[in-house]
A = this chain, B = another copy of it.
Amino acid sequence: MKILILGGDGYLGWPTAMYLSTKGHDVAVMDNLAKRRWELELNVEPLIPIRTLQDRVAAWKELTGRNIALFIGDLRNYETVRNLFTAFRPDAVIHYGEQPSAPYSMIDHNRCVFTQTNNVVGNLHVLWAMREYAPACHLVKLGTMGEYGTPNIDIEEGFLEIEHNGRKDVLPFPKLPGSFYHLSKVHDSHNIHFACRVWNLRATDLNQGVVYGIETDETRIDPRLATSFHYDEVFGTALNRFCVQAISGVPLTVYGKGGQTRGFLNIRDTIRCVEIAVLNPPKPGEFRVFNQFTEQFNIMELALLVQKVSAKLGLTVKIEHLENPRVEMEQHYYKAVAQKLLALGLEPHRLSDVLLDGMLERAHSERIKMEIIMPKVQWRPQAAASEPVAQAAVTA
């Protein structure tokens, strides 16, 4: 199958490309390398040094004999997207190519507006290019479980049957996203749903939980194939950050009481979920939503788990509660359905001690920068105007 991966330089994009290439698909990646610019802005870097995308594609070819077609370009430029679609003619597009950080979108008005325009415009261009050049193509779009927020009812997979005043309908599940980044994904979902209804396109929206992990079968082949692993406050996620903190001998930073419950999944499962979606396309006109996570935890449970595993490795790890920089409920009901991918064959990796061991070992690095872990980006306006917050984040 001809598979185009947008955001192919990213944490998930690159391992996905290698995995699907191994499976014999004809894979192309596109990226504008923006994440590397944002890292420079914020003075953060991945834990493990990673090669340029060009070098990784070359190394992949050298090591496996397999070709991954490479395009450098920006989805905000419609000419670029149009040329990409006419040059590669994909059967499926896996769209990871967005600004992926909630804190980044909350730094200041500039980054808020950038996040929403970058993500929404890029996605609209993909939809228009599909409409004009690849109407049978299947869009597999990375969304987030964060689109739903934490409602007091079970979270269904994208749609909900509602009975109201004696009448019924199946309608999009209401959204309560928690940052301008999460909002951008909600906007995308609405736009894609519309394109399916009106243009008869087909799409799968993967509302993904928090991903953890650093290795896949393909990244293990050679150090040059490593993927980027972030542990900083802006691009890192809770569990990845905790592992780095444990290894560094600093307390795990739990925001507030740590009662925030979310869905989580291993990076290997992300890749498998995407493959499952690609291999089982919806029919034309269908907008399908999968909730993509394998286990639910609250943040305190994760911290305690890291503490326990660290103890086995002889590390004494403390847990520290910080004032929550985000606006979110710390105690809340959370039960989300994630059945559709299981029904299609997903066999989840569980967050076992074994997997965490691996992460703790890989996190043992001289490159850890302590000063980029503590949260500086605040959701609420601070006493001063927002500029100091922005500067604090930028000069961290």
> Does A128 interact with chain B (Cβ within 8 Å)?
yes
Q: Kindly state the separation between the CA atoms of A191 and B153 in the bound complex, as whole angstroms.
A: 22
A171-209 near B? 1/0 per residue, CB < 8 Å: 111111111100100110011011001110000000000
Docked-complex contact A386 and B132, CB < 8 angstroms: yes
The residue from B162, B193, B198 contacting A379, defined by CB atoms under 8 A apart = B198
Provide 24 A-B residue pairs closer than 8 Å at the C-beta atoms, listed in order of the A residue. Answer: A78-B113, A109-B125, A109-B128, A113-B121, A116-B121, A116-B187, A117-B117, A120-B120, A132-B381, A153-B163, A153-B164, A153-B167, A154-B165, A154-B167, A162-B162, A167-B333, A174-B174, A177-B194, A183-B190, A183-B191, A186-B187, A186-B190, A187-B190, A198-B380
> What's the least CB distance linking A96 to chain B, in Å?
21
Name which residue of chain B comes closest to A159, CB basis: B174
Q: Kindly state the separation between the CA atoms of A198 and B385 in the bound complex, as whole angstroms.
A: 15
Q: Kindly state the separation between the CA atoms of A153 and B161 in the bound complex, as whole angstroms.
A: 11
Name which residue of chain B comes closest to A327, CB basis: B198
The residue from B153, B156, B173, B386 contacting A131, defined by CB atoms under 8 A apart = B386
> Does A169 interact with chain B (Cβ within 8 Å)?
yes
Name which residue of chain B comes closest to A117, CB basis: B117
Docked-complex contact A109 and B135, CB < 8 angstroms: no
Docked-complex contact B197 and A109, CB < 8 angstroms: no
Beyond A116-B121, A120-B187, list 9 extra A-B contacts (CB 8 Å).
A109-B124, A131-B381, A132-B385, A135-B381, A151-B169, A167-B333, A173-B174, A183-B187, A199-B381
Q: Kindly state the separation between the CA atoms of A113 and B116 in the bound complex, as whole angstroms.
A: 12
A119-155 near B? 1/0 per residue, CB < 8 Å: 0110011001001100100000000000000011110
> Does A322 interact with chain B (Cβ within 8 Å)?
no
Q: Kindly state the separation between the CA atoms of A109 and B131 in the bound complex, as whole angstroms.
A: 10
Contacts of A363 in B (CB 8 A): none
Docked-complex contact A112 and B131, CB < 8 angstroms: no
Contacts of A152 in B (CB 8 A): 167-169
Contacts of A164 in B (CB 8 A): 153-154, 156, 160
> What's the least CB distance linking A148 to chain B, in Å?
10
Name which residue of chain B comes closest to A326, CB basis: B198
Q: Kindly state the separation between the CA atoms of A373 and B386 in the bound complex, as whole angstroms.
A: 49
Contacts of A169 in B (CB 8 A): 151-153
Q: Kindly state the separation between the CA atoms of A163 and B131 in the bound complex, as whole angstroms.
A: 38
Residue with the greatest number of chain B CB neighbours at <10 A, chosen from A121, A128, A194: A194
Contacts of A380 in B (CB 8 A): 198-199
> What's the least CB distance linking A154 to chain B, in Å?
5
Docked-complex contact B190 and A177, CB < 8 angstroms: yes
Q: Kindly state the separation between the CA atoms of A191 and B113 in the bound complex, as whole angstroms.
A: 11
Docked-complex contact A113 and B125, CB < 8 angstroms: yes
Residue with the greatest number of chain B CB neighbours at <10 A, chosen from A125, A154, A165, A171: A171
Contacts of A153 in B (CB 8 A): 162-165, 167-169, 171
Docked-complex contact A194 and B199, CB < 8 angstroms: no
Q: Sorted from nearest, which 9 A-B pairs have the closest CB atoms? A: A171-B174, A152-B169, A109-B128, A153-B164, A198-B327, A187-B187, A172-B174, A153-B167, A151-B169
Name which residue of chain B comes closest to A174, CB basis: B171
Docked-complex contact B135 and A162, CB < 8 angstroms: no
Q: Kindly state the separation between the CA atoms of A131 and B151 in the bound complex, as whole angstroms.
A: 26
Contacts of A113 in B (CB 8 A): 78, 121, 124-125
Contacts of A151 in B (CB 8 A): 169, 171
